[in-house]
Structure 1
Amino acid sequence: MRGFPRGRVAMTWVGISIALVGALGYALGAALQQFEAVTEGASLKLMRRPRWWLGGVIGFTGASLHAVALSFAPLVAVQPISVATLVFAVPLAAMLHGRKAHRAEIVGSAAVAVGLLGLLLLVPSHAVTPHMTGREAFGFLGCVGLVVLVTHLAGRRARGPAKALVLSVAAGAVTASVSTFVRVVGGNFGGEWANLLSWFTLAVPVLLICAVVLLQKSYEVGYFGIAYAGVQVVDPITSILAGALLLDEAMPSGWSNVLPALLAGALMVWGTLTLGRLAPDHKASDHKASDHKASDHKASDHKASDHKASDHKASERGTSGHTASDRYGAGHESLDRKTSGRKAPALSPGAVPAVFPESSADSAPARAAETEPVPGSAPAPAPAPASGSVQVTP
């Protein structure tokens, strides 16, 4: 009989160890996905990022280890460690962004974790088989969809930490719907595979994809601490409310639980506000885009300056060519004016006028000067006739 308590304690420590590894894995996966969401944005580009997929695999492994830990240790021992993932995730995210975690981040995340743990410990244990009708399920999904719609509209107007918190509320509500449907499907399994063939099972992956998309949207803002804290708080609280209202699970009652619940809620609110005062992690994609735009702007300016220089050179060439042609034309015009303004010299009897080709206009004045008789000199004799020609005298 003495060996049984020791064996049970050993199993509990095994469960705690598994839960600790699972919490670290879940925190690391969330930090990796947040880093990629901030860098690339919450878009389909994340599907081409190996680090984002690695974060998803690590996070899924951490959640699976949490479920395994519950088979070795009681919920009271495992739940505090799973809630502490926020304390692990914030320093890991800061390390990925190349900085150290601020003291306010550690204190704020610890306050949220302690407040959430205190609130969860007030929930009594239950052993009720979960059952949900189709009408209740559609009503629950309608409420979750309304929360997502309202938070989406509010997130379009919000900025900074308020936007991260609002989007995390939507992600937490959808994540709670996944947990609720998984609880219903798993509770009614009973070893019969045919029980899994229901629309509840088909709704789980669809809701899971929606939760992942909304979670990346909240990560994209840059306030990882407040986004992760919002999901960690909204998910269990919504699950508890859904369990109490739809699955007939027990809720904490009595005035003795009111004061601890209020203290736990106040601690969570204070921790969330502390995380919201911190500066966000800057988007590396914005810096890259701005640098790329600046380089493109410089290149376009350089091309424009080169284009202007070439146009200026071309205009100078055109101007110089035009000036030369103008000068050439002006010279011809002045020469024509001189030659046209001068009177033809009177030829003496027997003088033969010189005939010049029209193309040699520039040498016309010189040749015309050669035909002018010098005053006081005898007229030039007529040229001798060529051989074989007949000279005709008047």
Structure 2
Amino acid sequence: MDTGTALVIAVPAAVLGAAGFGLASAAQQRATKEVAVTPTLSPRLIVELLARPMWLLGLVATVVALALQIVALAFGPLAVVQPVLVTGVAFAAVFSAILQGRHPDPLILLGALCCTAGLSAFLLLARPTVGPAHDQFDLLAALPLTVFLTVLVIGCLAYAAAVQHSSRVLALALATGVLYGVTAGLTKIITSQLRVGLDEPFRHPVLYVVCVIGPIGFLLSQNTFQQGQLVAPAVAVITSVDPVVGVLIGAGWLGEQIDSSPALLAGECLAALVLIGSIALITARGTWLLHHRLDAPQPALIPLSRAGRPIAG
């Protein structure tokens, strides 16, 4: 299949997958507020959420989105699919507002769109080129990045466990994004192995690693949604870190080459600043909205008679 035809399949699948992830994030974040707070990575949270219809809606959306992501990764490179999936942060902001019966906040939506634009520009400027083989990777060559990502996840979890500041939610989101990025990178390897034969993935450890890391990342995302007051900041961090880790995996594990010329590096730095600024805007605006709603005076309750008429007083 030629590149143009492959992208005709990959890009729409990635857009629909992003919409699915956005709906899933909004629905799951809403559902996690309806159950008791559980310790980080406690399976009890999933057990309690299984009784919540809103969470089940999010679960169905997640499954559909994952299937679409696999289709997109099977036909398109990480460098194309992952930037499109970043639009999930904008979808999440819109769906979250709809589920709460209100209009999306313009500044949060602007921040989500800028976040999408900044990260997409960063990844497109990096322009990774496909390596010689995507169906396997050199374990020894992958060791440095593996150690770095492992330390990063453990550090985020330790920070979240040690502090009570609101930044702990961003640490959980960062760890979730790393696990999602690793899962996406390994899924790319699995889709390449499927081209060899349907039984090929079962001959390699990658599939079994995904079966462990994937559920851990999903459970951690539910902790993140439950412990955060608003969905947009957490989703912005997760959807930003996910593709960046995917690109690092493409370069460090799959042999993809990243363009590092001075001009492009300058553009990548500018795009990164836009991305960071967008996340800061979403977080600051979300915090302001939360405090504004909490501080807003509540309407006074008017006593009613048995007939349902107000009692004069």
Residue 129 (1) aligns with residue 133 (2): yes
CA–CA distance in structure 1, aligned partners of residues 91 and 170 of structure 2: 19
2:303 is aligned to none
TM-score (ref. length: structure 2): 0.76
Structure 1 stretches of 5 or more lacking a match? Answer: 283-394
Post-superposition shift, 1:267?
A: 0.5
Distance 1:153 1:103, change over 3 A: same
Tell me, in whole angstroms, the C-alpha distance in 1 between the residues paired with 2:260 and 2:57: 43
Number of the residue aligned with 1:222: 229
Q: Does 1:212 align with 2:207?
A: no
Give the whole-Å Cα distance in 2 for the aligned partners of 1:233 and 1:266. Answer: 13
Matched, 1:110 2:117: no
Measured after TM superposition, the shift of residue 185 of structure 1 is 3.2
Deviation at 1:133, TM superposition (A): 3.8
The answer to whether the 8 Å contact 1:111/1:268 transfers is yes
SS at match of 1:48: coil
CA-to-aligned-CA distance 1:182-214 (integer Å, 9 cap, x gap): 233333441261452333221111101110121
Q: Is the 8 A contact 2:232 2:286 kept in 1?
A: no
Matched residue, 2:295: none
1:17-56 paired onto structure 2 within 5 Å: 17-40=12-35, 41=37, 43=45, 44-56=47-59
User: 1:68: how far off?
Assistant: 3.0
Hey, what's the Cα distance between the residues in 2 that align with 1:134 and 1:78? 25
Distance in 2 separating the partners of 1:117 and 1:57: 27
> Which runs of structure 2 are paired with 1:207-286 in the superposition (5 Å)?
207-220=213-226, 221-279=228-286
* Closer/same/farther in 2, CA of residues 186 and 196 from structure 1, 3 Å limit: farther
Secondary structure of the structure 2 residue equivalent to 1:278: helix
Contact in 1 for aligned 2:131/2:254 (Cα 8 Å):
no
> Which runs of 5 or more residues in structure 2 are unaligned?
39-44, 291-313
How far off is 1:127 after superposition?
4.2
CA RMSD of aligned residues (A): 2.9
Map 1:286-297; keep pairs closer than 5 Å.
Answer: none
Taking the TM superposition and a 5 Å limit, the aligned residue runs for 1:50-65 are 50-65=53-68
Partner Cα distance (1:183, 1:67) in 2? 8
Residues 79 and 194 (structure 1), Cα distance of their counterparts in 2 relative to 1, 3 Å cut: closer
In structure 2, what is the equivalent of residue 203 of structure 1? 209
Structure 2 CA distance for partners of 1:148 and 1:80, relative to 1, 3 Å: closer
CA shift in 2, pair 1:100/1:211, >3 Å: same
Aligned residues: 274
* Contact 1:23–1:85 (Cα < 8 Å) also in 2: yes
**Contact 2:118 2:271 survives alignment (8 Å):** yes
- In 2, Cα distance between the equivalents of 1:141 and 1:75? 18
Partner of 1:183: 188
- The amino acid that maps onto 1:114 is A
Larger CA deviation: 198-207 vs 129-138: 129-138
CA shift, 1:256, in A, is: 1.6
2:302 equivalent in structure 1: none
Contact 1:28-1:92 at 8 Å conserved across structures: yes
- Sequence identity percentage: 23
The Cα of 1:88 is off from its aligned counterpart by 1.3
Deviations 1:141-194 (A, max 9, x none): 54333222211222231522x222111110011112212222333334412614
Cα distance in 2 between the residues matched to 1:73 and 1:202: 23
Which has more radius of gyration?
Answer: 1
* Structure 1 segment 161-180 matched on structure 2, within 5 A: 162-180=167-185
* Residue 90 of structure 2, aligned match among 79, 82, 87: 87
Q: 1:100 to 1:146 in 2, by over 3 A?
A: same
Letter in 2 for 1:222: Q
- Per the alignment, do residues 168 and 76 of structure 1 end up closer, same or farther by CA in structure 2, a change over 3 Å counting? closer
Further displaced range: 169-178 or 35-44: 35-44
